[in-house]
Amino acid sequence: MESHIKSIQEDAIVKPFRVSVEGNIGAGKSTFIKHFCTFPDVDIHMEPVSEWCSLRGHNLLELLYKDLNRWNFMFQNYVQLSRLKTQMHKTKRRVLMFERSLQNNRFCFVEMSHNNGQLLDVEYVVLCKLYDWIEQNFDIHLDLIVYLRSSPEVCYERIQRRRRPEEITMSLSYLKELHESYEEWLLQAQTPAPVLVIDANKELDEVRQLCFQNQSYILGHSNMHLNPVMQSQLKKM
């Protein structure tokens, strides 16, 4: 009996409740995740932006936004590696929460880039094959997706305010394309996990309140399998 209990406890450590926080650039993902940084049972991981901006002297994000056609394949390859490291992170905490996922990379960014002609057919095939191999050889499952749903216009305004150097050349049209890709992936297609949609157009205090209201779902205390997509004020943006 004791060995059985120990086995269950070890399994719980190996397999935390995985939460991916998704949303457009400027939707407020980092702010949302920071809300949970004081929770003792939550292990949080932000996107490794500083790593992408300083890879042996190269700023991958800056290169990407300056020339999407030239640098997209390289960037998506490296991001896929970054996300694999995050999702396979071993933790003793009950919840592993991270900013964007491998699934996001494959079914949102890669699809959008290929559809827009920013990835050659052969580059697209290579990225898809790599993802398929990862999925077959690693446990990258998600337990919940939190979609911070914000209009491209609101995201663009926030990006202009925060003035990150690598985002200066980002256009509203790019954010609109990314928004449509998110909508298709999380609201129209079959998703890899239940999706909790939060209206991220709201002010920060209101978003925090929505976090509090949905905390039991976000931390895996309540089951969402009977309601695959929970959404607040879902409407066309």
pLDDT tens digits, one per residue of 160-188: 998 888 788 889 999 999 999 999 999 98
CA 63 – CA 53 distance, rounded (Å):
9
| pLDDT for position 208 | 83
CA 196 – CA 171 distance, rounded (Å):
28
In a domain? residue 237: no
Residue 176 known to bind ligand: no
**Domain count across the chain:** 1
In a domain? residue 40: yes
CA 165 – CA 89 distance, rounded (Å):
30
Residue 204 corresponds to which tokens in the numbers above?
A: 């920060």
Torsion of CA 179, 181, 185, 186, to 10 degrees: 0
Residue 160 known to bind ligand: yes
In a domain? residue 236: no
In a domain? residue 193: yes
Q: Which residues are catalytic?
A: 99
Residue 72 sits in a domain of what CATH number? 3.40.50.300
Number of CB atoms found within 10 A of residue 131's CB: 20
Mean pLDDT of 174-203: 93
Say what percent of the chain tops pLDDT 90: 71
- Exposed/middle/buried for residue 153 (C-beta within 10 Å: 0-12, 13-18, 19+): middle
Compute CA 70 distance to the chain's CA centroid, rounded to the nearest angstrom. Answer: 24
Could you give phi then psi for residue 10, rounded to 5 degrees?
Answer: -65, -40
In a domain? residue 220: yes
Compute CA 18 distance to the chain's CA centroid, rounded to the nearest angstrom. Answer: 12
Q: Which residues on adjacent β-strands are paired with residue 17?
A: 95
Name the pTM for this structure: 0.86
Residue 93 known to bind ligand: no
Q: Flag whether pLDDT at 11 surpasses 50.
A: no
In a domain? residue 104: yes
Mean pLDDT of 57-74: 93
Range of the domain at 72: 2-231
Q: Flag whether pLDDT at 236 surpasses 90.
A: no
In a domain? residue 95: yes
In a domain? residue 171: yes
**220 in Cβ contact with 194 (< 8 Å):** no
